[in-house]
Amino acid sequence: MAVEDAHKALAFKADQLERSNKYKSDFLANMSHELRTPLNSVLILAKLLGENRTKNMTEKQVEHANVIHKSGSDLLVIINDILDLSKIEAGKLHLHNEKTEIAEICNNMTQLFMEVSRDKKIRFSTGIDFGMPEYITTDRVRIEQVLKNLLGNAFKFTPEGGEVHMKAYMVTEPIAFQNEKLRQSKKVICFSVCDSGIGIPEDKQRLIFEAFNQADSSITRKFGGTGLGLAICRQLSSLLGGEIALSSVEGKGSVFSLFVSAELEPVTDQQSEQTERFDKHTNDETSLANAGNVLLLCDDERNTSVWKSLFALENFIVKNVKISETDSVNFTPDIIILDATLPDREYIDKVKRLKEKAITKNAEIVCRSISEFVPREISKLVKIHTTAAINQTLVASILQSAIASRAMVGNKQGGSVKETEMKDLGITDYSTNQTLTGKLTGIKVLIADDDIRNIYSMTSIFEHEGAEVIYAMDGFEAIEQFIANPDLSIIMMDVMMPGKDGLQAMSTIRSLGYNSSIPIVAVTAKAMPDDKEICMNAGANDYITKPVNVDLLLKKVYQLLKDRNV
């Protein structure tokens, strides 16, 4: 009887825990919506003001608008950190393990933080010990997310003239790991981040790994931050089958160590299927493109070798030029690949010079780096930007996106890499409909949103581009406006609205039987893992989260209108 009661008690507790997690996820989704909705208006209007298109603002007023936009963007980072943490705790953040080169991880960190070290006058170096394996099986994006956070903290808390060093080495001394995978692993490697900064008091060293905590409240005032970064790092390291350790002396510096298994593991069935699916796209009779020339700007010999091998499978000739020798290029390429993480100023200069030079100006530019950011000055010049690993999947995506609009494709109808799969790989296609020349004159847009602030800000975006805008405050009105305006070109549909919500409205529009192919962009502030799939299943052509990135939204609109020949 006692055993049965114990089982019932455990089942009751498990049910309570499941309910608690569901309530927490629902709360975070609603919180995200309530924060993102007003933030959407702030960011959009601040951006439009900062552009000063009417030239009637002073330099100081433009500066104020840019500060508002920057502050709003910082708030968005905090919201995203909270959601990241909640996704991990709810088990909704999934890893994409792949064969990952350790040297590539270290090189990426070097490229990303070298400019920071110069600006702050802090010595920075990375190193790999002898005897290290060349590859490990891990989620490269997530392990780099942890290292970026650790290095970011190291630079934040290290004064001018100090030193930051990252090293990868094999663990040879016995360590009592808490993680079961590490205890069972025969080979363990460590990525250590060492700094000569302010250090952390011993009694605060456990505290800093808890969400919203820092070593001291005065640090918050002096250095800023929310205390979420290390909490996310700890959760991610556990998800990666590893753990983080800290050794620190107040006033002398800190060493954060990320331990992960060094054993190569087979990829999952799902990953194998994905690889086979992409291999089919690039190896069947109807290849994505005929032979062409690729200019590769890359200083990494390993990456250069991989690029050449993969493009050779597609009969493309790759000519490698050192980044410092870009101006010496003397042949006409079809594609230019810039494989490096450069400081913004250098990045902008390289791309602009390539587009100004007669023999390279017509080539499609593909940029690969550790950073997801593309400076606005060159966003229209870059065809594709990616953070993905170099593999056949990436090459297939490049050939499809960068070459599809050129005569090299001919009349072949080869397999294509789906847009959703490209996004999963960290690939962003920055192509736009060039015939629109950045304007939407003659285009009629329906904006459906129950928040007048969002209607106002979204209307401002489209009217700036010359479009005519009508609006609806709920799903019922959206359907009425759709029926009453047969000349509609595109719909912006908010998901959460009273009465009939956006999902129901999209489904109804698709079922009406006339103008049912009209492009619909779902707009949501929830930003939870399943939102995109739900929206696409309801009838959306594309999806964007609040706060809306204006440039990204317009690129999506241009592309959808182009696909429909509007």
pLDDT of residue 270: 42
The Cα-based distances of 197 to 113, 159, 216, 248, 251 in angstroms read: 16, 6, 15, 10, 7
Strands 317-321 and 293-297: parallel
Q: What are the pLDDT digits (tens) for 131-148?
A: 888 888 888 878 888 898
Q: Cβ–Cβ contacts within 10 Å for residue 38, how many?
A: 16
Q: In this prediction, what percent of the chain has a pLDDT beyond 90? A: 18
pLDDT of residue 208: 66
Q: Is the bond into 547 cis (omega within 30 degrees of 0)? A: yes
Sign of the torsion angle spanned by Cα atoms 45, 48, 54, 57: positive
- With H, G, I as helix, E, B as strand and everything else as coil, classify residue 78: helix
The arithmetic mean of pLDDT across residues 395-421, rounded, is: 53
* Closest-CA residue to 338 (of 351, 325, 329, 349): 351
Q: Helix-strand-coil percent breakdown of the chain, rounded to 5?
A: 50, 15, 35
- In this prediction, residue 263 has a pLDDT band, given cuts at 50, 70 and 90, of confident
pLDDT of residue 487: 92
Amino acid type, 273: E
Exposed / middle / buried, residue 453 (Cβ in 10 Å: 0-12, 13-18, 19+): middle
- With H, G, I as helix, E, B as strand and everything else as coil, classify residue 149: helix
| Torsion region of 535: left, alpha or beta (phi above 0 gives left; psi -120 to 50 gives alpha) | alpha
Which of 251-265, 435-449, 539-553 has the weakest average pLDDT? 435-449
Residue with tokens 């799903």: 475
Is the pLDDT at 195 greater than 90? The verdict is yes
Q: What are the pLDDT digits (tens) for 460-484?
A: 889 888 899 999 999 999 999 999 9
Most confident of 21-25, 141-145, 216-220: 141-145
- DSSP sequence for 427-446: EEE----GGGTT--TT-EEE
Exposed / middle / buried, residue 294 (Cβ in 10 Å: 0-12, 13-18, 19+): buried
Q: What are the pLDDT digits (tens) for 43-56?
A: 888 888 888 877 88
Is the pLDDT at 271 greater than 70? The verdict is no
| Torsion region of 413: left, alpha or beta (phi above 0 gives left; psi -120 to 50 gives alpha) | beta
Strands 163-170 and 123-128: parallel
pLDDT of residue 540: 93
- In this structure, are residues 408 and 363 in contact, taking their beta carbons and an 8 Å threshold? no
Is the pLDDT at 307 greater than 80? The verdict is yes
Q: What are the pLDDT digits (tens) for 101-111?
A: 898 888 888 87
pLDDT of residue 415: 41
The Cα-based distances of 106 to 39, 192, 349, 446, 498 in angstroms read: 36, 11, 25, 48, 50
* Closest-CA residue to 33 (of 552, 525, 389): 525
- With H, G, I as helix, E, B as strand and everything else as coil, classify residue 535: helix
- In this prediction, residue 323 has a pLDDT band, given cuts at 50, 70 and 90, of confident
Flag whether the pTM goes above 0.75: no
DSSP H/E element including 538? helix 531-538
pLDDT of residue 483: 93
Q: What are the pLDDT digits (tens) for 361-401?
A: 888 898 888 766 677 778 778 888 887 778 767 787 787 76
Most confident of 27-41, 161-175, 327-341, 514-528: 161-175
